[in-house]
Amino acid sequence: MYLEIKDLKKSYGEGGSYIQVLKGVTTGVEQGQMCVIEGTSGSGKSTLLNCIGGLDLPDGGSIVVDGQEIVGLKAEKLSDYRRERLGFIFQFYNLIPNLTVRENVQVCEYLSDTPMHMDELLETLGLTEHQNKFPSQLSGGQQQRCAIARALIKNPKLLLCDEPTGALDSKTSRDILALLEKVNEKYGTTMLIVTHNNSIKNMVHKVIRIKDGQISKEYLNETRVPAMELEDL
């Protein structure tokens, strides 16, 4: 198992504002799988992703990624883990406005000792002709492609995606999901996709459903649908 989570707990606040968000989550994902984490707003899905990404510190439990326990790591080691193993894609692109597409990607390329090939990655993501443009000159879909390229250039083994199509229309969402599908098939990148969109679960290998801080259901998807055939995005 590439990712193993056991009895993970996370809470926020104190006294009257105390809330337990994760209530003992146990699950796992195999290497190379695309996995959707779905649930309603406030269910704990983004908190789970942030704990896996080392952005939130759990109150208890275990997160093992490729044999490494990350719960309890000191700040420097946690930073190394994020830099060396992870790529992040968010709903909002967070591009640097005064850098071109290529320069935005290069910012993360320098963080890796074994980066992907820049020109090959830009070609894979359909960005070659846009590489010298600034974010303000791009459509929302093109900006998200740039954000994906920035996350992937480090050659991460694990890609964490928090509502990657949340700010996009249905056609562009389908294009972005097809790109993630292509990246998974080409590079074998393990992907966790947090979403409230019920259709995305049909294209992935595994589905984890969270309700009130606990896993209510998880299953392997035996009849996957290609991203371009997804409906109701």
What CATH code is carried by the domain that includes residue 75? 3.40.50.300
122 burial (CB, 10 Å; 0-12 / 13-18 / 19+) is buried
Q: Is the pLDDT of residue 50 over 90?
A: yes
Give the 3-state secondary structure of 160-180.
EEECCCCCCCHHHHHHHHHHH
- Which pair of tokens denotes residue 101? 């597409």
Percent of the chain with pLDDT strictly greater than 90 = 71
Mean pLDDT of 173-198: 91
Domain with 191, as residue range(s), is 3-229
Mean pLDDT of 114-127: 91
Continuous segment of H or E residues that includes residue 199: none
Least confident of 68-77, 146-155, 167-176: 167-176
- What is the per-residue pLDDT for 101? 97
| Residues 31/190, Cβ–Cβ less than 8 Å | yes
The model's pTM: 0.91
Q: Is the pLDDT of residue 233 over 80?
A: no
Task: Work out how many domains the chain is built from and give that number.
Answer: 1
